[in-house]
Structure 1
Amino acid sequence: MSAHGHESTAAARLPFPEVAAADAAIAERMAARRGGELSALDKLLLHSPPVADGWNELLGALRHKSSLAADLRELAILRVAVLNNAAFEWVAHKEAARRAGVTDAQIDALYDMDPAQHFDYRQNLVLELTDTATFEIAVPDLLFQRVRAEFSEREIVELMVTIGGYAMVSRFLVALQVPPPEGEVGSS
Structure 2
Amino acid sequence: MARIDYADSSKASERTRDILAKNRNANIFRMMSHSPDYFVQYCRLGGAIRSRGELDPIVRELAITRTGILCEAPYEVIAHKRIGKNVGVTDEQNEALANWQAAKCFTETQRAALAFTDEIVKLNKPTDATFKAIAAKLAPGALVELQLSVGFYIMTSKFLETFEIDLQPVTEVVG
Question: Quick check: TM above 0.5?
Answer: yes
Q: Which runs of 4+ in 1 moved over 4 A?
A: none
Aligned letter for 1:24?
E
Aligned partner of 2:166 in structure 1 is 179
Aligned partner of residue 132 in structure 2, secondary structure: helix
- Equivalent residues in 2 for 1:3-22 (5 A)? 11-19=1-9
Q: Deviations over 1:43-64 (max 9, x none)?
A: 0001111110110001010011
Unaligned stretches of 5+ residues in structure 1: 1-10
Aligned letter for 1:23?
S
Of 10, 15, 26 in structure 2, the residue corresponding to residue 25 of structure 1 is 15
- Equivalent residues in 2 for 1:161-176 (5 A)? 161-176=148-163
Aligned partner of 2:117 in structure 1 is 130
1:180: how far off? Answer: 1.9
Q: Give the helix-richer structure, 1 or 2.
A: 2
Of 30, 42, 61 in structure 2, the residue corresponding to residue 74 of structure 1 is 61
Q: Deviations over 1:113-160 (max 9, x none)?
A: 634532110010110000000000122222212222111111011100
TM-score relative to the length of structure 1 = 0.84
Aligned partner of 2:52 in structure 1 is 65
State yes or no: 1:157 paired with 2:137: no
1:19: how far off? Answer: 3.9
Aligned letter for 1:143?
T
Aligned partner of 1:8 in structure 2 is none
TM-score relative to the length of structure 2 = 0.90
Cα 1:20–1:49 shift into 2, 3 Å: farther
- Equivalent residues in 2 for 1:136-155 (5 A)? 136-155=123-142
In the alignment, is the contact (CA less than 8 A) between 1:66 and 1:158 conserved in 2? Answer: yes
Greater shift in the superposed pair: 53-62 or 141-150: 141-150
Aligned letter for 2:8?
E
Aligned partner of 1:7 in structure 2 is none
Q: Sequence identity, in percent?
A: 29
Greater relative contact order structure (CA < 8 Å, 6+ sep): 1
In the alignment, is the contact (CA less than 8 A) between 1:30 and 1:53 conserved in 2? Answer: no
